[in-house]
Amino acid sequence: MKNITRSSFFAVFTLTASLVACTHSDSEQADDVQAEEDSGSATQAIVETWTNLGGTTNHSPLAVAFNNKLHVFSVGTDSRIYRKSTSDGESYSTWSELGGFASAGLAAAVHQSKLYVFSVGTDNVLYYRKSTNGVDFDGWVSLGGWTNTAVAAVSFNGTLHVFSKGGDNKIYRRTSTDGVSFTGWTLFGGVTNGAGPAAVVQQGKLYVFATGTNNAVYFQSSSDGVTFSAWQSLGASVTALSATSFAGDLHLFGIGNGDSEIYTHYMHDNYWRGWYDTNPQGVQTTKAVGAASFLNAMWVFARRSDGQIVYHSTPLYRLPFAGNGLWTVVNGNYDDPGDSHPENQYFGFDFAQYDQDAGLGADILAARAGTVVGLREDYNCNPCSPANSGNWIAIEHADGTVATYSHIKLNGVLVNVGDYVVQGQHIAEMGNTGNSGGPHVHFEIHEWWSAENVSGPSVPAYFCDGLHSVWRPRTSQALTPTACSL
Protein backbone atom coordinates (compact mmCIF):
# COMPACT_ATOMS: atom_id res chain seq x y z
CA MET A 1 0.00 0.00 0.00
CA LYS A 2 1.34 3.42 -1.01
CA ASN A 3 0.53 6.32 1.30
CA ILE A 4 3.38 8.80 1.49
CA THR A 5 3.74 12.59 1.65
CA ARG A 6 6.69 14.95 1.57
CA SER A 7 7.26 18.60 2.38
CA SER A 8 7.37 20.88 -0.62
CA PHE A 9 8.32 24.53 -1.14
CA PHE A 10 6.93 27.80 -2.35
CA ALA A 11 6.48 28.15 -6.04
CA VAL A 12 6.51 30.54 -8.95
CA PHE A 13 3.98 31.16 -11.64
CA THR A 14 3.85 34.46 -13.47
CA LEU A 15 4.58 38.11 -13.39
CA THR A 16 4.19 40.90 -15.96
CA ALA A 17 4.50 43.87 -18.18
CA SER A 18 6.15 47.10 -19.03
CA LEU A 19 7.99 49.83 -17.14
CA VAL A 20 11.64 50.85 -16.60
CA ALA A 21 13.83 53.94 -16.76
CA CYS A 22 15.87 56.61 -19.24
CA THR A 23 18.23 61.03 -21.47
CA HIS A 24 18.69 61.12 -24.97
CA SER A 25 21.62 61.38 -27.21
CA ASP A 26 22.65 58.58 -29.50
CA SER A 27 26.11 57.53 -28.44
CA GLU A 28 28.78 54.94 -28.86
CA GLN A 29 28.33 51.42 -27.61
CA ALA A 30 29.51 50.67 -24.07
CA ASP A 31 32.72 48.67 -23.79
CA ASP A 32 31.07 45.65 -22.21
CA VAL A 33 28.24 45.38 -24.72
CA GLN A 34 28.55 44.06 -28.25
CA ALA A 35 25.83 44.22 -30.88
CA GLU A 36 24.78 41.07 -32.64
CA GLU A 37 22.18 40.18 -35.23
CA ASP A 38 19.06 38.56 -33.83
CA SER A 39 19.08 34.83 -34.39
CA GLY A 40 17.07 31.71 -33.70
CA SER A 41 14.18 29.86 -35.27
CA ALA A 42 10.53 30.55 -34.52
CA THR A 43 9.92 27.39 -32.52
CA GLN A 44 8.36 26.89 -29.10
CA ALA A 45 10.72 27.22 -26.14
CA ILE A 46 9.73 26.88 -22.49
CA VAL A 47 12.08 28.08 -19.76
CA GLU A 48 10.63 26.65 -16.54
CA THR A 49 13.16 27.94 -14.04
CA TRP A 50 14.70 31.37 -13.57
CA THR A 51 17.55 31.89 -16.03
CA ASN A 52 20.10 34.69 -16.07
CA LEU A 53 19.72 36.92 -19.12
CA GLY A 54 22.96 38.74 -18.38
CA GLY A 55 23.53 42.42 -17.88
CA THR A 56 23.21 44.60 -14.82
CA THR A 57 20.42 47.15 -14.59
CA ASN A 58 19.42 49.98 -12.31
CA HIS A 59 15.77 49.73 -13.28
CA SER A 60 13.04 47.36 -14.43
CA PRO A 61 13.46 45.23 -17.54
CA LEU A 62 10.92 46.01 -20.26
CA ALA A 63 9.66 43.30 -22.66
CA VAL A 64 7.52 43.62 -25.79
CA ALA A 65 6.72 41.30 -28.70
CA PHE A 66 7.11 42.85 -32.15
CA ASN A 67 7.82 41.63 -35.68
CA ASN A 68 8.10 37.95 -34.65
CA LYS A 69 10.66 38.71 -31.95
CA LEU A 70 10.67 39.33 -28.24
CA HIS A 71 12.51 42.57 -27.43
CA VAL A 72 13.93 43.24 -23.97
CA PHE A 73 15.01 46.75 -22.98
CA SER A 74 16.85 47.81 -19.85
CA VAL A 75 18.82 50.69 -18.39
CA GLY A 76 22.41 49.83 -17.55
CA THR A 77 24.35 51.01 -14.54
CA ASP A 78 25.71 53.74 -16.84
CA SER A 79 22.11 55.01 -17.31
CA ARG A 80 22.22 54.11 -21.02
CA ILE A 81 19.42 52.14 -22.66
CA TYR A 82 20.24 48.66 -23.99
CA ARG A 83 18.32 46.06 -25.95
CA LYS A 84 18.28 42.30 -26.53
CA SER A 85 15.99 40.26 -28.75
CA THR A 86 15.09 36.66 -29.51
CA SER A 87 13.03 34.90 -32.15
CA ASP A 88 12.65 31.62 -30.27
CA GLY A 89 12.64 32.65 -26.60
CA GLU A 90 15.87 30.76 -26.02
CA SER A 91 18.69 32.23 -28.12
CA TYR A 92 19.16 35.95 -27.42
CA SER A 93 21.30 38.49 -29.20
CA THR A 94 23.91 40.21 -27.08
CA TRP A 95 23.09 43.56 -25.51
CA SER A 96 23.26 46.47 -27.95
CA GLU A 97 22.83 50.12 -27.13
CA LEU A 98 19.57 51.75 -28.18
CA GLY A 99 20.97 55.22 -27.56
CA GLY A 100 19.99 57.83 -25.05
CA PHE A 101 20.19 58.04 -21.29
CA ALA A 102 17.41 57.28 -18.84
CA SER A 103 16.80 58.71 -15.41
CA ALA A 104 13.54 56.85 -14.83
CA GLY A 105 10.71 55.26 -16.76
CA LEU A 106 10.73 52.99 -19.83
CA ALA A 107 7.65 51.88 -21.74
CA ALA A 108 6.90 50.35 -25.13
CA ALA A 109 3.86 49.88 -27.33
CA VAL A 110 3.10 48.53 -30.80
CA HIS A 111 0.94 50.93 -32.81
CA GLN A 112 0.16 50.83 -36.54
CA SER A 113 2.84 48.20 -37.15
CA LYS A 114 5.53 50.28 -35.47
CA LEU A 115 7.38 49.71 -32.22
CA TYR A 116 7.44 52.77 -29.94
CA VAL A 117 9.88 53.06 -27.04
CA PHE A 118 9.34 55.81 -24.45
CA SER A 119 11.75 56.93 -21.77
CA VAL A 120 12.26 59.69 -19.23
CA GLY A 121 15.46 61.59 -19.92
CA THR A 122 17.88 62.94 -17.37
CA ASP A 123 16.13 66.29 -17.84
CA ASN A 124 12.90 64.63 -16.61
CA VAL A 125 11.25 65.17 -20.02
CA LEU A 126 9.53 62.29 -21.80
CA TYR A 127 10.98 61.16 -25.16
CA TYR A 128 10.18 58.45 -27.69
CA ARG A 129 11.61 56.83 -30.79
CA LYS A 130 10.00 54.35 -33.17
CA SER A 131 10.92 51.53 -35.53
CA THR A 132 9.22 49.64 -38.35
CA ASN A 133 11.39 46.54 -37.99
CA GLY A 134 12.54 46.52 -34.36
CA VAL A 135 16.16 47.05 -35.41
CA ASP A 136 16.47 50.49 -36.99
CA PHE A 137 14.98 53.31 -34.91
CA ASP A 138 14.19 56.93 -35.73
CA GLY A 139 15.79 59.62 -33.61
CA TRP A 140 14.46 60.63 -30.21
CA VAL A 141 11.46 62.98 -30.21
CA SER A 142 10.40 65.01 -27.17
CA LEU A 143 6.86 64.71 -25.84
CA GLY A 144 7.49 67.48 -23.37
CA GLY A 145 6.03 67.52 -19.90
CA TRP A 146 7.75 66.99 -16.59
CA THR A 147 7.82 63.50 -15.15
CA ASN A 148 9.82 62.34 -12.17
CA THR A 149 9.39 58.60 -12.60
CA ALA A 150 7.09 56.27 -14.46
CA VAL A 151 5.54 56.07 -17.90
CA ALA A 152 3.19 53.59 -19.60
CA ALA A 153 2.06 53.25 -23.22
CA VAL A 154 -0.57 51.17 -24.99
CA SER A 155 -2.41 51.11 -28.32
CA PHE A 156 -6.19 50.90 -27.99
CA ASN A 157 -9.09 51.58 -30.38
CA GLY A 158 -6.74 52.94 -33.05
CA THR A 159 -5.15 55.41 -30.64
CA LEU A 160 -1.76 55.40 -28.95
CA HIS A 161 -2.17 56.30 -25.25
CA VAL A 162 0.80 57.52 -23.20
CA PHE A 163 0.48 57.87 -19.42
CA SER A 164 3.03 59.55 -17.18
CA LYS A 165 3.41 60.49 -13.56
CA GLY A 166 4.07 64.22 -13.32
CA GLY A 167 6.29 66.07 -10.91
CA ASP A 168 3.18 66.65 -8.77
CA ASN A 169 2.63 62.84 -8.53
CA LYS A 170 -0.56 63.08 -10.58
CA ILE A 171 -1.11 60.97 -13.71
CA TYR A 172 -1.27 62.71 -17.09
CA ARG A 173 -2.03 61.45 -20.59
CA ARG A 174 -1.30 62.26 -24.24
CA THR A 175 -2.82 60.44 -27.21
CA SER A 176 -2.15 60.09 -30.93
CA THR A 177 -3.93 58.32 -33.77
CA ASP A 178 -1.05 58.50 -36.26
CA GLY A 179 1.82 58.09 -33.78
CA VAL A 180 3.25 61.47 -34.82
CA SER A 181 0.85 64.22 -33.78
CA PHE A 182 -0.03 64.02 -30.09
CA THR A 183 -2.64 65.84 -28.08
CA GLY A 184 -1.42 68.02 -25.23
CA TRP A 185 -0.96 66.62 -21.74
CA THR A 186 -4.27 66.28 -19.90
CA LEU A 187 -4.85 65.34 -16.29
CA PHE A 188 -5.92 61.71 -16.07
CA GLY A 189 -6.54 61.89 -12.35
CA GLY A 190 -5.35 60.15 -9.25
CA VAL A 191 -2.37 60.86 -7.04
CA THR A 192 0.36 58.24 -6.75
CA ASN A 193 3.50 58.28 -4.66
CA GLY A 194 4.49 54.76 -5.52
CA ALA A 195 4.21 52.35 -8.44
CA GLY A 196 2.59 52.95 -11.78
CA PRO A 197 1.08 53.84 -14.05
CA ALA A 198 0.73 50.55 -15.92
CA ALA A 199 -1.66 50.02 -18.82
CA VAL A 200 -2.99 46.99 -20.69
CA VAL A 201 -5.80 46.06 -23.09
CA GLN A 202 -7.96 43.16 -21.98
CA GLN A 203 -11.18 41.84 -23.57
CA GLY A 204 -11.98 45.05 -25.40
CA LYS A 205 -11.21 47.38 -22.50
CA LEU A 206 -8.29 49.62 -21.59
CA TYR A 207 -7.12 49.22 -17.97
CA VAL A 208 -4.85 51.70 -16.18
CA PHE A 209 -3.26 50.81 -12.82
CA ALA A 210 -1.44 52.89 -10.22
CA THR A 211 -0.75 52.88 -6.50
CA GLY A 212 -2.26 55.58 -4.34
CA THR A 213 -0.70 57.58 -1.55
CA ASN A 214 -1.54 54.65 0.73
CA ASN A 215 0.44 52.30 -1.60
CA ALA A 216 -2.74 50.35 -2.38
CA VAL A 217 -3.35 49.44 -6.02
CA TYR A 218 -6.17 51.14 -7.94
CA PHE A 219 -7.42 50.87 -11.50
CA GLN A 220 -9.68 52.55 -14.04
CA SER A 221 -11.13 50.96 -17.16
CA SER A 222 -12.64 52.22 -20.41
CA SER A 223 -14.38 50.59 -23.36
CA ASP A 224 -13.67 53.51 -25.72
CA GLY A 225 -10.44 55.06 -24.41
CA VAL A 226 -12.24 58.32 -23.68
CA THR A 227 -14.61 57.77 -20.78
CA PHE A 228 -13.12 55.92 -17.81
CA SER A 229 -14.66 54.35 -14.74
CA ALA A 230 -13.93 55.74 -11.30
CA TRP A 231 -10.82 54.46 -9.51
CA GLN A 232 -11.41 51.06 -7.90
CA SER A 233 -9.20 49.55 -5.22
CA LEU A 234 -7.46 46.17 -5.52
CA GLY A 235 -5.80 46.47 -2.12
CA ALA A 236 -2.24 45.31 -1.39
CA SER A 237 0.84 47.45 -0.85
CA VAL A 238 3.41 47.23 -3.64
CA THR A 239 6.47 49.11 -4.84
CA ALA A 240 6.29 48.14 -8.53
CA LEU A 241 3.46 47.46 -10.97
CA SER A 242 3.16 45.85 -14.38
CA ALA A 243 0.34 44.25 -16.32
CA THR A 244 -0.10 42.04 -19.35
CA SER A 245 -2.81 40.12 -21.17
CA PHE A 246 -2.15 36.45 -21.83
CA ALA A 247 -4.49 33.84 -23.31
CA GLY A 248 -7.51 36.04 -22.69
CA ASP A 249 -6.62 36.68 -19.04
CA LEU A 250 -5.26 39.82 -17.38
CA HIS A 251 -2.25 39.38 -15.09
CA LEU A 252 -1.24 42.22 -12.80
CA PHE A 253 2.02 41.97 -10.89
CA GLY A 254 3.54 43.90 -8.03
CA ILE A 255 6.59 43.70 -5.79
CA GLY A 256 5.56 43.54 -2.14
CA ASN A 257 6.33 46.64 -0.13
CA GLY A 258 9.26 45.60 2.06
CA ASP A 259 9.45 41.85 1.36
CA SER A 260 10.63 41.71 -2.30
CA GLU A 261 8.01 39.03 -2.97
CA ILE A 262 6.23 38.97 -6.34
CA TYR A 263 2.45 39.06 -6.05
CA THR A 264 -0.07 38.44 -8.80
CA HIS A 265 -3.65 39.58 -9.28
CA TYR A 266 -5.64 37.82 -12.00
CA MET A 267 -8.83 38.81 -13.84
CA HIS A 268 -11.09 37.25 -16.47
CA ASP A 269 -14.57 38.48 -17.39
CA ASN A 270 -14.42 40.85 -14.40
CA TYR A 271 -13.64 38.02 -11.97
CA TRP A 272 -10.69 39.20 -9.87
CA ARG A 273 -8.77 36.31 -8.33
CA GLY A 274 -7.16 38.27 -5.51
CA TRP A 275 -3.47 38.72 -4.74
CA TYR A 276 -1.36 35.62 -4.22
CA ASP A 277 2.36 35.18 -3.64
CA THR A 278 4.37 34.01 -6.63
CA ASN A 279 7.87 34.60 -5.31
CA PRO A 280 10.27 32.83 -7.67
CA GLN A 281 12.05 30.30 -5.47
CA GLY A 282 14.50 32.49 -3.63
CA VAL A 283 14.97 35.07 -6.40
CA GLN A 284 14.92 38.34 -4.47
CA THR A 285 13.60 41.13 -6.66
CA THR A 286 14.06 44.86 -6.22
CA LYS A 287 11.14 46.92 -7.47
CA ALA A 288 11.41 45.54 -10.97
CA VAL A 289 9.29 43.17 -13.03
CA GLY A 290 8.22 43.02 -16.67
CA ALA A 291 6.59 40.55 -19.06
CA ALA A 292 5.15 39.97 -22.52
CA SER A 293 3.23 37.30 -24.42
CA PHE A 294 5.31 35.65 -27.13
CA LEU A 295 5.24 32.26 -28.90
CA ASN A 296 2.17 31.12 -26.94
CA ALA A 297 3.83 31.70 -23.58
CA MET A 298 4.11 34.54 -21.09
CA TRP A 299 7.72 35.58 -20.61
CA VAL A 300 8.52 37.15 -17.27
CA PHE A 301 11.59 39.26 -16.48
CA ALA A 302 12.74 40.50 -13.09
CA ARG A 303 15.64 42.46 -11.64
CA ARG A 304 17.39 40.36 -9.04
CA SER A 305 18.73 41.97 -5.86
CA ASP A 306 22.26 41.87 -7.35
CA GLY A 307 21.04 43.87 -10.37
CA GLN A 308 21.09 40.90 -12.77
CA ILE A 309 18.09 40.34 -15.07
CA VAL A 310 16.52 36.89 -14.84
CA TYR A 311 13.61 35.42 -16.77
CA HIS A 312 11.35 32.42 -17.22
CA SER A 313 8.20 31.53 -19.17
CA THR A 314 4.84 30.08 -18.25
CA PRO A 315 4.59 26.33 -18.90
CA LEU A 316 2.03 24.68 -21.14
CA TYR A 317 0.18 21.58 -19.94
CA ARG A 318 -1.17 18.68 -21.96
CA LEU A 319 -4.60 17.31 -21.16
CA PRO A 320 -4.16 14.71 -18.37
CA PHE A 321 -5.85 11.79 -20.12
CA ALA A 322 -5.49 9.60 -23.20
CA GLY A 323 -7.60 9.65 -26.32
CA ASN A 324 -9.64 6.59 -25.41
CA GLY A 325 -13.14 8.12 -25.37
CA LEU A 326 -14.89 11.48 -25.74
CA TRP A 327 -13.83 13.89 -23.01
CA THR A 328 -15.08 17.18 -21.59
CA VAL A 329 -14.90 19.47 -18.54
CA VAL A 330 -17.78 18.81 -16.14
CA ASN A 331 -16.68 21.44 -13.60
CA GLY A 332 -14.32 24.22 -14.60
CA ASN A 333 -12.45 27.09 -12.98
CA TYR A 334 -14.18 29.47 -10.60
CA ASP A 335 -14.70 31.99 -13.42
CA ASP A 336 -16.18 29.39 -15.79
CA PRO A 337 -19.58 30.62 -17.05
CA GLY A 338 -20.85 27.04 -16.80
CA ASP A 339 -20.42 24.72 -13.84
CA SER A 340 -17.47 25.82 -11.76
CA HIS A 341 -15.44 25.02 -8.66
CA PRO A 342 -15.75 26.99 -5.40
CA GLU A 343 -13.30 29.81 -4.77
CA ASN A 344 -10.97 27.65 -2.67
CA GLN A 345 -10.40 25.51 -5.81
CA TYR A 346 -10.31 28.53 -8.12
CA PHE A 347 -8.37 26.96 -10.99
CA GLY A 348 -9.46 23.35 -10.58
CA PHE A 349 -10.74 21.18 -13.45
CA ASP A 350 -12.91 18.05 -13.39
CA PHE A 351 -12.19 16.08 -16.58
CA ALA A 352 -14.51 13.21 -17.50
CA GLN A 353 -15.78 11.25 -20.46
CA TYR A 354 -19.18 12.11 -21.89
CA ASP A 355 -20.18 8.55 -21.02
CA GLN A 356 -18.96 9.05 -17.46
CA ASP A 357 -19.29 5.43 -16.39
CA ALA A 358 -17.09 4.38 -19.32
CA GLY A 359 -14.31 6.51 -17.84
CA LEU A 360 -13.75 4.20 -14.88
CA GLY A 361 -10.21 2.88 -15.20
CA ALA A 362 -9.28 5.27 -18.04
CA ASP A 363 -5.63 6.31 -18.31
CA ILE A 364 -4.53 9.40 -16.37
CA LEU A 365 -1.45 11.00 -17.88
CA ALA A 366 1.05 13.49 -16.46
CA ALA A 367 0.08 16.94 -17.72
CA ARG A 368 3.63 18.18 -17.13
CA ALA A 369 6.96 16.63 -16.19
CA GLY A 370 7.96 16.55 -12.54
CA THR A 371 8.76 14.50 -9.45
CA VAL A 372 6.17 12.54 -7.47
CA VAL A 373 6.17 14.03 -3.95
CA GLY A 374 3.09 12.33 -2.48
CA LEU A 375 0.33 9.86 -3.24
CA ARG A 376 -2.47 7.73 -1.79
CA GLU A 377 -4.33 4.79 -3.33
CA ASP A 378 -5.91 2.80 -0.46
CA TYR A 379 -9.29 4.55 -0.26
CA ASN A 380 -12.29 2.54 -1.44
CA CYS A 381 -15.08 4.87 -0.38
CA ASN A 382 -17.46 7.42 -1.85
CA PRO A 383 -17.93 9.75 -0.15
CA CYS A 384 -14.87 9.66 2.09
CA SER A 385 -14.46 11.86 5.14
CA PRO A 386 -12.29 13.83 5.51
CA ALA A 387 -10.63 12.53 2.32
CA ASN A 388 -12.74 14.47 -0.18
CA SER A 389 -10.09 13.91 -2.85
CA GLY A 390 -10.16 10.14 -2.51
CA ASN A 391 -6.96 8.66 -3.90
CA TRP A 392 -4.49 11.12 -5.37
CA ILE A 393 -1.02 11.89 -6.71
CA ALA A 394 1.01 15.09 -6.16
CA ILE A 395 3.74 15.95 -8.71
CA GLU A 396 6.15 18.84 -8.20
CA HIS A 397 7.36 20.72 -11.28
CA ALA A 398 10.68 22.41 -11.99
CA ASP A 399 9.34 25.81 -10.88
CA GLY A 400 8.08 24.50 -7.52
CA THR A 401 4.38 24.41 -8.35
CA VAL A 402 2.59 21.13 -7.62
CA ALA A 403 -0.11 19.37 -9.64
CA THR A 404 -2.62 17.16 -7.85
CA TYR A 405 -4.61 14.41 -9.62
CA SER A 406 -7.55 13.23 -7.50
CA HIS A 407 -10.33 10.58 -7.33
CA ILE A 408 -8.04 7.80 -8.60
CA LYS A 409 -9.44 4.28 -8.27
CA LEU A 410 -8.41 1.87 -5.51
CA ASN A 411 -4.81 0.71 -6.09
CA GLY A 412 -4.82 2.73 -9.31
CA VAL A 413 -1.54 4.61 -8.82
CA LEU A 414 1.23 3.47 -11.19
CA VAL A 415 4.16 5.51 -9.82
CA ASN A 416 6.08 5.84 -6.56
CA VAL A 417 7.18 8.80 -4.47
CA GLY A 418 10.51 10.04 -5.81
CA ASP A 419 9.82 8.93 -9.39
CA TYR A 420 10.48 11.49 -12.12
CA VAL A 421 7.69 11.41 -14.69
CA VAL A 422 7.68 12.90 -18.17
CA GLN A 423 4.82 14.81 -19.73
CA GLY A 424 2.26 12.35 -21.11
CA GLN A 425 3.41 9.40 -18.98
CA HIS A 426 0.69 7.01 -17.79
CA ILE A 427 0.62 7.61 -14.01
CA ALA A 428 -2.75 6.33 -12.77
CA GLU A 429 -6.21 4.97 -13.54
CA MET A 430 -9.33 7.05 -13.22
CA GLY A 431 -11.68 6.28 -10.38
CA ASN A 432 -14.65 7.52 -8.39
CA THR A 433 -13.24 7.70 -4.85
CA GLY A 434 -13.79 10.58 -2.44
CA ASN A 435 -16.36 13.33 -2.98
CA SER A 436 -17.12 12.36 -6.56
CA GLY A 437 -20.34 12.22 -8.57
CA GLY A 438 -18.91 9.88 -11.16
CA PRO A 439 -15.59 8.70 -12.59
CA HIS A 440 -13.38 11.72 -13.33
CA VAL A 441 -10.01 13.27 -12.52
CA HIS A 442 -9.81 16.50 -10.56
CA PHE A 443 -6.72 18.35 -11.78
CA GLU A 444 -5.33 21.43 -10.07
CA ILE A 445 -2.03 23.35 -9.87
CA HIS A 446 -1.03 24.64 -6.42
CA GLU A 447 1.40 27.36 -5.46
CA TRP A 448 2.83 24.88 -2.94
CA TRP A 449 1.94 21.53 -1.37
CA SER A 450 3.11 19.81 1.81
CA ALA A 451 0.69 17.01 2.70
CA GLU A 452 -2.72 15.50 2.00
CA ASN A 453 -5.31 18.30 2.17
CA VAL A 454 -2.53 20.81 2.96
CA SER A 455 -1.67 22.96 -0.05
CA GLY A 456 -1.34 26.55 -1.21
CA PRO A 457 -3.68 28.54 -3.47
CA SER A 458 -4.45 27.20 -6.91
CA VAL A 459 -2.89 29.01 -9.85
CA PRO A 460 -3.85 29.10 -13.55
CA ALA A 461 -2.97 26.22 -15.85
CA TYR A 462 -2.85 26.82 -19.60
CA PHE A 463 -3.21 23.85 -21.91
CA CYS A 464 -2.19 23.03 -25.45
CA ASP A 465 -3.61 20.34 -27.74
CA GLY A 466 -4.23 19.61 -31.41
CA LEU A 467 -6.97 22.25 -31.64
CA HIS A 468 -5.72 24.97 -29.30
CA SER A 469 -2.30 26.59 -28.97
CA VAL A 470 -2.91 27.94 -25.44
CA TRP A 471 -6.17 28.08 -23.52
CA ARG A 472 -8.03 27.21 -20.34
CA PRO A 473 -10.69 24.56 -21.13
CA ARG A 474 -14.31 25.42 -20.34
CA THR A 475 -17.29 23.28 -19.35
CA SER A 476 -18.97 21.25 -22.08
CA GLN A 477 -16.10 21.74 -24.54
CA ALA A 478 -15.20 18.63 -26.50
CA LEU A 479 -11.56 17.95 -25.67
CA THR A 480 -8.97 16.41 -27.98
CA PRO A 481 -5.97 14.98 -26.10
CA THR A 482 -3.73 14.95 -29.16
CA ALA A 483 -0.32 16.42 -29.85
CA CYS A 484 0.16 20.12 -29.17
CA SER A 485 -0.49 22.31 -32.21
CA LEU A 486 2.51 24.64 -31.61
Whether the predicted pLDDT of 43 surpasses 50: no
- How far apart (Å, rounded) are the C-alpha atoms in residues 344 and 322? 28
Beta partners for 309? 303
Give the dihedral of Cα atoms 339, 345, 351, 355; nearest 10 deg.
-50
Strand bridging mode 454-455 / 114-120: unpaired
Mean pLDDT of the chain: 82
Residue pair 112/128 in contact by the 8 Å Cβ criterion: no
Question: Cβ of 427: how many Cβ atoms within 10 Å?
Answer: 23
Pick the range with the lowest mean pLDDT from 13-17, 217-221, 242-246.
Answer: 13-17
Which has more pLDDT, 45 or 51? 51
Rounded mean pLDDT, 224-245: 88
List the Cα angle 270/155/335 in 5-degree steps: 15
| pLDDT at position 2 over 60 | no
Q: Give the C-alpha distances (Å, rounded to integers) separating 60 from 72, 86, 149, 276.
A: 10, 19, 12, 21
Of residues 182 and 476, the one with the higher pLDDT is 182
| Stretch 320-330: mean pLDDT | 85
* Mean pLDDT calculated for residue range 24-53: 47
| Rounded Cα distance, 427 and 369, in Å | 11
The answer, yes or no, to whether residue 280 has pLDDT greater than 70, is no
pLDDT band, very low/low/confident/very high, at 123 (cuts 50, 70, 90) = confident
Domains in the chain: ranges and CATH: 20-313 (2.120.10.70), 318-455 (2.70.70.10)
pTM: 0.84
Residues 6+ apart with CB under 8 A from 470: 247, 296, 297, 316, 462, 463, 464
- Does residue 71 register a pLDDT over 80? yes
pLDDT at 314: 84
Contacts of 363 (CB under 8 A, 6+ apart): 321, 322, 324, 426, 429, 430
**Identity of residue 11:** A
The C-alpha atoms of residue 108 and residue 25 are separated, in whole angstroms, by 19
Given a contact cutoff of 8 angstroms between Cβ atoms, the answer to whether 267 and 249 are in contact is yes
Specify the pLDDT at position 288: 67
Q: Which residue has the higher pLDDT, 29 or 463?
A: 463
| pLDDT, tens digit (0-9, with 9 covering 90-100), for 332-387 | 998 888 888 888 898 999 999 988 788 899 999 999 999 999 999 999 999 888 77
Q: How many CB atoms lie within 10 A of CB 136?
A: 7
Q: Is the peptide bond before 320 cis (omega within 30 degrees of 0)?
A: no
